[in-house]
Structure 1
Amino acid sequence: MKKWFRLDKRADKEIISLAWPSITEQILEMMVGMVSTIFMGRIGIYAVAAVGMVNMLMGFLQTVFSGLSIGTTVIIARVTGEGRNEDAKRALIQSGYMAIIVGVLIAVIGRVFSLPLLGLFFGKAEPEVFEAGISYLNIILINLPFLVLDIIVSGAMRGAGDTKTPMIITGGVNILNIILNTVLIFGVPALHIPAFGIVGSATAVTVSRIIGVTVRVLVLYNFKGLKLNLSLKDDYRIRGDMIKRIINIGIPGFIEQAVMQGGFLVLQIIIVPLGTVAMAAYQIGLNINALAFFPIFGFAIANTTLVGQSLGEGDYEKAETYSHESLKIAMAVAFVIGILMFIFSKHLAGLYSGDPLVIKESIGIVCTFGVIEPLLAVLNLCSATLKAAGDIKYVMITSFVGLWTFRVLLSFLLISWFGIGLTAVMIGIFFDFSSRSAMYLIRVNHGKWKFLAV
């Protein structure tokens, strides 16, 4: 137990050095989401509910390439630790091929079946919310192939230990996104640009994403000082062995993400009959919770890279040190942010909506998230360690147990039996976080993850 109380300043410095660009990048992403949601709130609570509804569905559609991204990051971290940079390039190229195919396929399927898909999951939503959601979804689907490639390239850079380049590119793209959102949602009469409302927001996101991935690919080919770069002389043949390695990690990663996003989607379906106010309040609560989640996610990215590279080097003690130190730092950060969320819950909720009922419902959700933020740190950091080691099947199984048993089933039963609305959902989330945090922490402390082959 001494390892939990001893500080390793060298490891802490490396973790923070790798984590802060990822945290900054995630905060920039969060700011775009916050600004977009705030803008939707100015249009009306129906717009907040509609965008939140579509984002849940998009999250589910994105599960395939989320697993692919996990596989890419883990394999590149391992081969980089082993000193095999050419294999890192091959992994990125093979992942790129798969990303383009998967992205185009999902975009086409989503576009063809957009109306039945939204109707299947959210048919009980109010007509105004449903119509706005369809308009938003049909445009957002265009950016799916670009989004999947963007995620793969960024994950590859991080796996190689480069978190600053993705941060810089994301920063520029997000500034562009905010500008386009402002212009296209509200219009600029002086320049004869009309207000497009929710359609303008979808267009801004799509254009920004296309520009973002284009810049990332150009950087890969034109900046030779990066830890991971490509040239036209690299091996572009299809490599079945490398694809198999990525898929071996990617398939459990896909299933884990499908379990997670499927649970989020079903929970959203459970919330829909509670009304537009409940839907909007829940989306606002999730957006504000991103204030804590994204810094934690930044440390999880650093943890995945450092643990994966250490395992590639065969230095198991260093991998364990990075795992424990990352967790301690993330828990401290989550605790502080949780307190701030609790204190400023009313002010934060007021940023998103002027509706008193929505604000009142949102405050309870934000306060609950504030209390359980340290559990979110344990959950994400321990799962990052297990993923970096290739123990993703355990993460997949426990995700199903925790999320579907408590967040989904318990929430549904409490709403059905006691009619306590969003309170039931937050009780379910608390037990989900608690159960998965305990399972992941026990698994990490056993230490068998250090000796898995990927």
Structure 2
Amino acid sequence: MKTVKQPTLFQITWPLFIEIALHMSLGIIATLILSYYSDSAAAAVGVSNQVLNIFIILFNITSVGATIIIGQYLGAKRVQDARQTARSAFSINLYIGLIISVLVALTGKQLLGFFSLEGQTLVYGETFIKIVGLFLFLEAISLTLGAILRSHGFTKNAMYVTLLMNFVSAFGNVIAVLGLFGIPVLGVAGVAWSIVIARAFAVTLLFFVVYRKLSLRFRLKDLIQINRQDIKSIMNIGIPSAGEGISYQFSQLIITGFIATIGEAALSARVYVSNITMLCFLFSLAIAQGTQLLVARQVGAQQFEQAHARGVKTLKIAVFASFVSAVAIAAFGTSIMSLFTSSPEIIAIGIPLLWASVILEPGRALNIVLMGTLKSAGDVRFPVTIGVLSMWGIAVVVSYVLGLQFGLGLLGIWIAFSADEWFRGIFALKRWNGRKWVQYSLTKGESHEQNERRKATEAV
């Protein structure tokens, strides 16, 4: 068995930064390439990805739960417990992935029907969601294996796999849309198959890396007899943790329905601006995830003051970086939007949204960092409670009022997004500084020596 690494924040974060950038660029590249093919195709794939993201968040129930539990176990020196949790997480997500893949493939058209897509846009969306949806189980496996690696400090290896996956996907996208090497133009179907092939390639590599770095094998008996206590522990952490994300995606689906009533230009602008502004919170996501891994270990080792200080320091860096990047993107907004579309109407809708993001993104950074650190400390119910109240009570309601009733369109919806992010972020800051999360540590009150005596007693 390999020695568990004790990485620094920088060692964890820079590979995470590149990995998240690569994951984001996967969607951005597909959208950019499809925009040259058809604005309708780009809009259809953007909406389809929103639907698929809901199911991907379900996979995060297991991977997030496993990440937190493994991190705290490693901090408490309970390495064998961490390895058993990893095996159980893999088995759980494999079954969930297979069930959801069949479900999405069979109901893809009905799921898209909510957005009132019509004509060729609906045809593009149905093609994409059926192909990618049928193989969603690959993403379930990938998320779990990546979480296991990152929990043990091997963020660099997960980054390399994502880099290769992106290369395969981007290369396939170009071939599908441009018809290179004598291959006919396949359009949306070709882009969908490129994503599937890239994910299959990534899963194969991740299995190899997990075995090489952790000497961890996934056995048939792990699939047949999943440890019940592991299921309970993972779900107790994972369901509330992922609940916030599930609520967010559903609220975004409702809001996308609002946008669809405004018009196809607004829908396309939303897809393009959302892809562009991903760059604003890229750094926040990376440093937040790195901090979560460290905080989980510090909480597991009962180093609560160090964990609190780490969260506050990360917060300051993330808010500053997101503000600067949002201003830079807004300043060059016309040029950036022109990369995605030549439509003056879409560009005109998008530019004010980029400037509105200067207010939105620091609030999002506040939210991302602190909600993540609370979850890694084991305080998982507070984020979902505040999240559900804010997303539906502020984001959805205010989007409808400002966007549709007051006629502000997408700008009104972006104002609602800003209010939602800042509301949740401020509550998270109060919770973090209040230190109530200390009581939720999974290993609180049990030293390593006590744990060893406990296990010896159980064995007898």
Query: What range is the shorter-chain TM-score in?
Result: over 0.9
Offset, 1:17: 2.3
Distance in 2, Cα, partners of 1:47 & 1:304? 37
Which of 180, 191, 204 does residue 214 from structure 1 map onto? 204
Offset, 1:368: 1.4
Is 1:437 the counterpart of 2:431? The answer is no
Q: Tell me what 2:66 maps to.
A: 72
Q: Is the 8 A contact 1:90 1:235 kept in 2?
A: no
Q: Tell me what 2:164 maps to.
A: 172
Identity level (%): 27
Is 1:91 the counterpart of 2:77? The answer is no
Q: Which amino acid aligns with 2:357?
A: F
For residues 246-287 of structure 1, give each alpha carbon's deviation from its aligned partner in whole angstroms, at most 9, with x where no partner exists: 111111123222211111111111111111100010011110
Q: Which amino acid aligns with 1:278?
A: A
Distance in 1, Cα, partners of 2:200 & 2:108? 21
Q: Is the 8 A contact 2:142 2:203 kept in 1?
A: yes
Offset, 1:113: 1.5
Which of 40, 51, 61 does residue 45 from structure 2 map onto? 51
Q: Tell me what 2:310 maps to.
A: 322
Q: Is the 8 A contact 1:158 1:301 kept in 2?
A: no
Distance 1:48 1:84, change over 3 A: same
Q: Is the 8 A contact 1:46 1:128 kept in 2?
A: yes
Is 1:15 the counterpart of 2:9? The answer is yes
Distance 1:229 1:275, change over 3 A: farther
Distance in 2, Cα, partners of 1:249 & 1:425? 32
Distance in 2, Cα, partners of 1:306 & 1:422? 38
For residues 424-449 of structure 1, give each alpha carbon's deviation from its aligned partner in whole angstroms, at most 9, with x where no partner exists: 11111111111111111111110111
Is 1:125 the counterpart of 2:117? The answer is yes
For residues 298-352 of structure 1, give each alpha carbon's deviation from its aligned partner in whole angstroms, at most 9, with x where no partner exists: 1111111000000111111111121112112212221221221121111111111
Secondary structure of residue in 1 paired with 2:279: helix
State which drifts further: 365-374 or 303-312.
365-374
Is 1:204 the counterpart of 2:194? The answer is yes
Q: Is the 8 A contact 1:15 1:326 kept in 2?
A: no
The within-5 A match list for 1:352-363 is: 352-363=340-351
Distance in 2, Cα, partners of 1:91 & 1:264? 32
Is 1:250 the counterpart of 2:238? The answer is yes
Q: Is the 8 A contact 1:89 1:229 kept in 2?
A: no
Secondary structure of residue in 1 paired with 2:154: coil
Q: Which amino acid aligns with 1:249?
A: I
Offset, 1:397: 0.8
Distance 1:291 1:141, change over 3 A: same
Runs (4 or more) in structure 1 with deviation over 3 Å come to 231-237
Q: Which amino acid aligns with 1:183?
A: I
Gaps of 5+ in 2: 1-6, 443-460
Q: Which amino acid aligns with 1:314?
A: Q
Q: Tell me what 1:153 maps to.
A: 145
Which of 175, 178, 183 does residue 175 from structure 2 map onto? 183
Q: Tell me what 2:130 maps to.
A: 138
Which of 94, 97, 105 does residue 100 from structure 1 map onto? 94
Q: Is the 8 A contact 2:106 2:130 kept in 1?
A: no
Distance in 2, Cα, partners of 1:370 & 1:44? 29
Q: Tell me what 1:6 maps to.
A: none
Distance in 2, Cα, partners of 1:23 & 1:387? 20
Distance in 2, Cα, partners of 1:185 & 1:90? 44
Distance in 1, Cα, partners of 2:70 & 2:220? 16
**Aligned-CA RMSD value:** 1.6
Q: TM-score, normalised by structure 1?
A: 0.92
Offset, 1:192: 2.1
Distance in 2, Cα, partners of 1:365 & 1:42? 22
Distance in 2, Cα, partners of 1:209 & 1:407? 33
For residues 347-379 of structure 1, give each alpha carbon's deviation from its aligned partner in whole angstroms, at most 9, with x where no partner exists: 111111111111111112122113332211111
